[in-house]
């Protein structure tokens, strides 16, 4: 196993450990201290994976081969996410949280933020797994001899690459369709835009409340005898403030529910993609091993037949040599027999003359 393959195997194991650690705990149920601990631990593991992926990218570039997988985009995405995660760690450690909602007595934990950061790390882990498995498949195909000799293996690797590209495209289309179906096809606003619009309305209502209070004070200072008007205006102020409070409360509840739905959908998509990627990699390795076994069987069979043919040729050559020797011996015997016949004939002739 080469140095690059060892780095890839270690990176895959580190990604598996990070994924298991994230799946073990739901961060949205944690207290602030527990969340900071889990965030620091997961960020540290992600840093190690990011460093290993940079080494893999360098080694991969130094190979100077065609069709080398490019993982620089995913490395850049993970780098940016690490900056965001480290910023959140600093804020959690050195600053006191203030949740500026309608009720200022609410707890300082923000489960939606915790779940969102957990999903971000899950996305980074999935991108890292996708990149390393891509490099791993490339290295497996590269070191397998039959990929260079047989057209079947080349077609197999090409088919796997094609299906991989189709999977990425289908994933993008699936996320787009989910977003459209969840937010509606008429006004496709993002969650950030909805939140911004709600806070803008909140600000406008706050300005209306301030203006109403100001008007009330002016009426009290200038007109003391219009008690009925004052009572009516005071009631309006109370109603506006009550409406403002109810609106703010419902708006934040809606935002929480939207974020929960988004996080749940994203988590399900990540798990589905994780399972799909594992199944695809297992299937690819199975096909590569099967093709390798077929190649080995062919090679052994061919070697066996060559040995048997060589042995038969050797036996045939020996038999031909034996036949040639026998033929030569027969010819010599015939010559000797002919010579004996001539001598016998001469002897008979000489005896007859005497």
Q: What is the 3-state secondary structure (H, E, C) of 155-168?
A: HHHHHHHHHHHHHH
Say which CATH topology domain 1-143 has: 1.20.120
- What is the model's pLDDT at position 48? 92
Instruction: Out of 228-237, 254-263, 274-283, 339-348, pick the least confident.
Output: 228-237
Where does the chain have alpha helices with state H?
3-24, 32-62, 72-94, 111-143, 145-149, 151-183, 191-222, 227-353
- What is the model's pLDDT at position 338? 86
Q: Is the pLDDT higher at 340 or at 232?
A: 340
Query: Measured at the alpha carbon of residue 125, what is the angle toward residues 119 and 130, in degrees to the nearest 5?
Result: 125
Query: Is residue 225 exposed (0-12), middle (13-18) or buried (19+ Cβ within 10 Å)?
Result: exposed
> For the chain, what are the domain ranges?
1-143
Q: Residue range 273-284: average pLDDT?
A: 84
Look at residue 271 and tell me whether its pLDDT is greater than 50: yes
Q: Which residue reads 């409406």 in tokens?
A: 243
Look at residue 17 and tell me whether its pLDDT is greater than 70: yes
Instruction: Out of 156-165, 194-203, 204-213, 303-312, pick the least confident.
Output: 156-165
Burial code of 64-75, b = ≥16 C-beta within 10 A, e = fewer? eeeeebebeebb
Q: Residue range 161-177: average pLDDT?
A: 60
Are the C-beta atoms of 18 and 42 separated by less than 8 Å? yes
Are the C-beta atoms of 35 and 27 separated by less than 8 Å? yes
Query: Measured at the alpha carbon of residue 96, what is the angle toward residues 92 and 97, in degrees to the nearest 5?
Result: 80
């Amino acid at each position: 196993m080469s140095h690059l393959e060892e780095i890839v195997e270690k990176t895959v194991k580190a990604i598996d450990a990070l994924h298991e650690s994230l799946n073990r705990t739901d961060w949205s149920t944690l207290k602030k201290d527990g969340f900071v601990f889990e965030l620091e631990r997961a960020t540290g593991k992600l840093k190690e994976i990011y460093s290993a992926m940079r080494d893999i990218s360098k080694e991969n570039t130094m190979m100077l081969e065609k069709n080398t997988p490019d993982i620089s985009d995913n490395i850049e995405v993970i780098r940016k996410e690490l900056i965001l995660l480290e910023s959140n760690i600093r804020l959690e450690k050195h600053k006191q949280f203030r949740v500026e909602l309608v009720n200022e007595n609410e707890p300082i934990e923000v489960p939606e933020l915790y779940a969102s950061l957990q999903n971000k790390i899950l996305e980074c882990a999935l991108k890292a797994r996708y990149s390393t498995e891509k490099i791993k498949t490339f290295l497996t195909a590269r070191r397998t001899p039959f990929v260079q000799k047989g057209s079947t293996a080349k077609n197999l690797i090409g088919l796997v690459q094609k299906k991989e590209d189709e999977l990425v495209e289908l994933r993008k289309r699936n996320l787009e369709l989910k977003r459209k179906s969840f937010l509606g096809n008429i006004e496709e606003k993002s969650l950030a835009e909805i939140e911004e619009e709600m806070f803008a309305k909140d600000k406008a209502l706050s300005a209306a409340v301030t203006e109403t209070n100001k008007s009330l004070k002016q009426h009290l200072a200038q007109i003391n005898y219009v008690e009925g008007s004052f009572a009516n205006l005071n009631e309006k102020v109370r109603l506006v403030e009550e409406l403002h409070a109810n609106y703010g409360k419902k708006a934040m509840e809606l935002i929480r529910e939207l974020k929960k739905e988004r996080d749940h959908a994203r988590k399900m998509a990540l798990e589905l993609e994780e399972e799909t990627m594992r199944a695809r990699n297992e299937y690819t390795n199975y096909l590569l091993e099967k093709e390798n076994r077929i190649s080995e069987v062919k090679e052994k069979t061919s070697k066996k037949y060559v040995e048997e043919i060589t042995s038969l040729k050797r036996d045939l050559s020996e038999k031909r040599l034996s036949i040639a020797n026998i033929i030569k011996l027969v010819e010599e015997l015939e010559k000797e027999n002919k010579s004996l016949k001539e001598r016998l004939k001469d002897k008979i002739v000489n005896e007859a003359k005497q």
